[in-house]
Structure 1
Amino acid sequence: MSSPTNSADAVQKSSIKVSSDDDHLRALGYEPKLDRKMGFWSNFALGFIYLSPMVGVVSIFGLGLTSAGPASIFWILIVGVGQLLVALVFGEVVSQFPLAGGLYQWARRLWSGSYAWLMSWIYTAGITIGITTTALFSADFVASLFLGTPEEPSVSASPLQKSFIAIVVLVICLLFNLTGTRTLARISKIGLFAELAGVILLGLYLLIFQRKNDLSILFDTMGTVSENGMVAAFLGASLVGLYMLYGFESCGEIAEETPNPARMIPRTMALTVIVGGGSAFLAFAGYVLAAPNLQSIVSGETTNPIPNILQDTLGTFGSKVFIVVALTSFLAGVMGQQTAVSRLVYSFARDDMFPGARHLAKVKKSSHVPVNALLAVNVVPVLLIVFVLFFPDSLFRIAAFQVVAVYFSFQMVVFAALRARSKGWKPAGPWNLGRWGALVNVAALVYGVAAIVVLSMPSGDESLAFTDRWIALIGFLTVVAVGTVYMLVAKPHRKSTAPEGDAIEVARLLSQSK
């Protein structure tokens, strides 16, 4: 691995205009090693399948209706606007720093190595668990595909079946990922097509041909507010959007594998939120309006409503086709998660930020992918899947803090960007918000803090034990504490060989080089 150079000196001394992708990368202190094969639609597809509105709607539909009835659908729009603000802030940063490992590199350039290390620790923990839960959740779809009947379309896999299927999913996705960026681009596009077919086309079909409820039902809470109270219903329903609309940051994780990333990635991140949120809203509305017995879902009597709705509207064959489409989306989604976190680990290792960095930073010459980083990020998911096999109830505890960790990592970058602005940073990438940047940055931070507070609140089921009610916050604080202790003791950020040059300095020099 070549030694990185001081990024400020590289920009200042170079006579080459930083207009080409590789020149921009060298100006930031790194030599190009990855393969730029992810075009605009492939990059967008990666973010979209990671966000996965299909998986999100299927997973959260019942919870939303039991919390606040059909009116919970509007949280998709509220959270969509908030996440779009975050995506716009990320867009300004990635346009100036189009580097692999996105969030880590952005936080380091905007603040410091120690700040970036802790943020990356939190984010990596969250996404690693995301790989695990996505793979495990696919198991019930596989079971329903092969074991489901017209009388019982929804089948839950046994703990052993669930673990076996999840590991097979991880292995398949890993093998595809190891073949190179070109394969990732193709699979991402296939996943995008599956998602759009399963979300938009199905949503339109249900709305137009299978509608059993009036449109006005979308504004009805169907008694949930009077039962739970306005505040409880309002906050409970917020999970409909909060659990669904993230993953757009993965577009930036592969910046060094994307042509013209400084202009392209800000657009693909924003497009991911807009199209993902819009299609999720359409699908959610379609399921609500096509539900033959909506009250049974709202009351909690029907615990897994989507297969029943599909069986009633599409029949057995149509339901099986949908499950195949959904499984395609699951595979593409796991591949996207593996890619995002492996590129962050690769970027981390390239800067010598933890033990074994030299091995994890290696890039295979034939495929141009960080093979060791890809292998490493799948070790913990396999161990967690085996753990869940013996302790099935632990899945809830393992997954609870996942979304909190991701949102907190996002806001660490948003806050770092606002801090850098206060010190004089003016985004110097070819894509920026101009005079609106600071206002959008503040709005994104306010939204993000509010989202973290809501996600950290205890479960409304007071019959649960204290630890179960507060498990999301407890899990998150535990991860933060472990990471902080390690950072203070081992001081990995002080051993870093990362290029120097903070956001303000690099912005000034990049502006001079134009």
Structure 2
Amino acid sequence: MSNPSDDGLAGFGYKQELERTLGNFHTFAAGISYISILTGTFQLFYFGFSFGGPAYWWSWPMVFVGQLMVALSFAELAAHYPVAGSIYNWSKRLGSPHVAWLAGWMMLTASIVSIAAVALAYQITLPQISSFFSFSGDSAVNAVILGTALIVFTTLVNAWGVKLMARINSAGVFIELIAAVLLIVALAVNITRGPEVVMETNNTGADQPWGYFGAFLVASLASTYVMYGFDTASSLGEESHDPRKNAPKAILRALIASFVIGGLILILALMAVGDINNPEIATGGLQFIVLDVLGSTIGTIFLLAVVIAITVCNLAVQSAAIRMMFAMGRDNNLPAGKHLARVSPKTKTPVIPAIVSGVIAVLILVVNVGQPQIFTVITSIGIIMIYLAYLLVTVPMLVKRFRGQWPPPKVEGTKYFSLGKLGLPVNILGVLWGGAIVVNLAWPRREVYNATEPYHWYLEWGAVLFVGAVAVVGFAYYWFVLRHKSGVLADHAAEVHPEEAAQ
């Protein structure tokens, strides 16, 4: 039988190389810091409000219900397959190697883009705290300077080892949660109107061909851009204690906690702001509301908490990218896979993926200097690719269910999270939701992908073109080069007896 310390990892064909040091809160913190409510709401509130008015708030529960269907399916998968690079490995065991590679490729590319995108959030917050952080009069250049500093920090921490990453991440999440609760209380005692404010549209559908429904679909992207990444809790499965039990709980707790806390912050901010028709809300977002309602001193303290949330969010996003790169590398499914899968004997961490992901993210940031619209397109597309990667898991899972091949056989004596008879309808809803949200995200809208001059058709259609290019070029490389030598590298393979093989 396999060594109990590897939690059945040998059954998946791998030997235990990463260090199992993470507990319940660490895995929960990884999931919730990737979602990062303070980062997402403060970064994107202005977008939702400007396109949908206060009624955009309804997109928050809508996205939560859809993502909950996905998260419930992921919780079942996390119990059966607690392996690094969760999306890639789940897809590999549910579908074909080709589908799995595409899922991993999409998720990896999107995660690296997300590192750069999250780092840009420093520019939205730090200069409002102090002019010290305005190193350049050009906001795009300043954003790159601040973002690069953050990426260098998270790269060093992730390269140093999972223990340091987990400690900083957990401390940051603890501060973020305390700050979020205090912000909810502070906004609640300063409300000036009732919750009916979320029924106001501010006439935002006037210029939309589908009326307010069209405006709401655009505004809902603000919530769609936030509520994902909960699978990170399982991506750390090879570094967690008892991941079959803890990862499913961490996934669901991270999503539910984010929904409750974020939803309260958003609605109370709308109820507390002095003038709901103030045009600065559509540009300054939650930062403006917090300073308007709480004053500069208290408001600045909360903005500092947002900075901490951005920092640990970037730490978690890069950590997930590193595990994905490691997982695909040890299967020889990336160029230089042998080097990407190498685990430092000192830090017990894949150091090269940390450096590679950090360098590429900084290079992506530099694009923002001359072509900020292109960066907006790339950022949005990165999120589309994450939702596509999710579909490349939920669709094969649904196929397995229809064929009567789910759930797979269980390890004797192990309790698994299970949806039982609800599994099929939940899985179907998750697939329908994923398909609908990808269409809404990728729909060619000038106001999203080419909001200011100069107008270019290729920017407006950027989502379709870029995602298509990433998928086609990446898969062509896999098909003609990588698939011929794909397979677990000898240095990472474990000897597996037939009776131990994971189903």
Question: Considering the TM-score relative to the shorter chain, is it more than 0.5?
Answer: yes
Cα separation, 2, equivalents of 1:29 and 1:511: 8
1:405 aligns to 2:385 (yes or no): yes
Q: Measure how far apart 1:39 and its partner are.
A: 0.8
Q: Which secondary structure state, in structure 1, belongs to the residue aligned with residue 483 of structure 2?
A: helix
Pairwise CA RMSD of aligned residues?
2.5
Cα separation, 1, equivalents of 2:385 and 2:469: 11
Q: Which runs of 4+ in 1 moved over 3 A?
A: 225-228, 390-393, 460-465, 508-513
Q: Give the alignment partner of residue 484 of structure 1, picking from 475, 482, 496.
A: 475
Q: Give the alignment partner of residue 182 of structure 2, picking from 198, 201, 207.
A: 201
Corresponding residue number in structure 2 for 1:422? 402
Cα separation, 1, equivalents of 2:363 and 2:119: 13
Corresponding residue number in structure 2 for 1:283? 265
Q: Measure how far apart 1:139 and its partner are.
A: 2.5
Q: Measure how far apart 1:391 and its partner are.
A: 3.4
**Preserved contact between residue 204 and residue 286 of structure 1 (Cα < 8 Å):** no
1:184 aligns to 2:174 (yes or no): no
Normalised TM-score (structure 2): 0.90
Corresponding residue number in structure 2 for 1:454? 440
**Preserved contact between residue 129 and residue 399 of structure 1 (Cα < 8 Å):** yes
Cα separation, 2, equivalents of 1:497 and 1:363: 18
Corresponding residue number in structure 2 for 1:40? 24
Q: 1:303 to 1:402 in 2, by over 3 A?
A: same
User: Superposed, which structure 2 residues align to 1:221-236 within 5 Å?
Assistant: 221-228=201-208, 229-236=211-218
Q: Measure how far apart 1:22 and its partner are.
A: 1.2
Q: Deviations over 1:74-126 (max 9, x none)?
A: 21111111111101111111211111111111111111221111111111111
**Preserved contact between residue 83 and residue 89 of structure 2 (Cα < 8 Å):** yes
Structure 1 unaligned regions, length at least 5? 1-13, 500-505
1:82 aligns to 2:66 (yes or no): yes
Corresponding residue number in structure 1 for 2:151? 170
Q: 1:390 to 1:321 in 2, by over 3 A?
A: same
Q: Which amino acid aligns with 2:464?
A: L
Q: Which amino acid aligns with 1:398?
A: I
User: Superposed, which structure 2 residues align to 1:291-306 within 5 Å?
Assistant: 291-297=273-279, 302-306=282-286
Q: 1:512 to 1:282 in 2, by over 3 A?
A: closer
Corresponding residue number in structure 1 for 2:458? 467
1:334 aligns to 2:314 (yes or no): yes
1:497 aligns to 2:487 (yes or no): yes
1:160 aligns to 2:151 (yes or no): no
Cα separation, 2, equivalents of 1:220 and 1:26: 56
1:344 aligns to 2:334 (yes or no): no
Q: Measure how far apart 1:309 and its partner are.
A: 1.7
Q: Measure how far apart 1:512 and its partner are.
A: 11
Q: Deviations over 1:419-469 (max 9, x none)?
A: 222333222452221222122111110111111111111225498432232
Corresponding residue number in structure 2 for 1:65? 49
Q: 1:103 to 1:512 in 2, by over 3 A?
A: closer
Cα separation, 2, equivalents of 1:355 and 1:301: 46
Q: Give the alignment partner of residue 54 of structure 1, picking from 35, 38, 47.
A: 38
Corresponding residue number in structure 1 for 2:129? 145
Cα separation, 2, equivalents of 1:282 and 1:255: 31
Cα separation, 1, equivalents of 2:125 and 2:222: 21
Q: 1:114 to 1:270 in 2, by over 3 A?
A: same
**Preserved contact between residue 212 and residue 292 of structure 1 (Cα < 8 Å):** yes
Q: Deviations over 1:145-192 (max 9, x none)?
A: 22199xxx9x98633322121111011111122222111221121221
Corresponding residue number in structure 2 for 1:9? none
Q: 1:488 to 1:130 in 2, by over 3 A?
A: same
Corresponding residue number in structure 2 for 1:271? 253
Q: Which secondary structure state, in structure 1, belongs to the residue aligned with residue 346 of structure 2?
A: coil
1:443 aligns to 2:429 (yes or no): yes
Cα separation, 1, equivalents of 2:396 and 2:113: 25
Q: Measure how far apart 1:377 and its partner are.
A: 1.4
Q: Which secondary structure state, in structure 1, belongs to the residue aligned with residue 18 of structure 2?
A: coil
Corresponding residue number in structure 2 for 1:8? none
**Preserved contact between residue 245 and residue 417 of structure 2 (Cα < 8 Å):** yes
Cα separation, 2, equivalents of 1:433 and 1:195: 31
**Preserved contact between residue 143 and residue 157 of structure 1 (Cα < 8 Å):** no
The aligned length equals: 482
Q: Which secondary structure state, in structure 2, belongs to the residue aligned with residue 353 of structure 1?
A: coil
Q: Measure how far apart 1:258 and its partner are.
A: 0.7
Corresponding residue number in structure 1 for 2:237? 255
Cα separation, 2, equivalents of 1:236 and 1:400: 12
Compare 31-40 and 60-69 and name the one that shifted more.
60-69
Cα separation, 1, equivalents of 2:425 and 2:285: 41
Cα separation, 1, equivalents of 2:342 and 2:229: 26
Q: Measure how far apart 1:312 and its partner are.
A: 2.0
Q: Deviations over 1:214-262 (max 9, x none)?
A: 2211222232245531321231232132111001011111110111111
**Preserved contact between residue 333 and residue 478 of structure 2 (Cα < 8 Å):** no
Compare 214-223 and 31-40 and name the one that shifted more.
214-223
**Preserved contact between residue 136 and residue 165 of structure 1 (Cα < 8 Å):** yes
Q: Which secondary structure state, in structure 1, belongs to the residue aligned with residue 14 of structure 2?
A: coil
Q: Which amino acid aligns with 1:480?
A: A
Corresponding residue number in structure 2 for 1:314? 294
Cα separation, 2, equivalents of 1:435 and 1:414: 17
Cα separation, 1, equivalents of 2:42 and 2:349: 33
Cα separation, 1, equivalents of 2:261 and 2:315: 21
Normalised TM-score (structure 1): 0.88
**Preserved contact between residue 55 and residue 200 of structure 2 (Cα < 8 Å):** yes
Q: Measure how far apart 1:511 and its partner are.
A: 11
Q: 1:509 to 1:445 in 2, by over 3 A?
A: farther
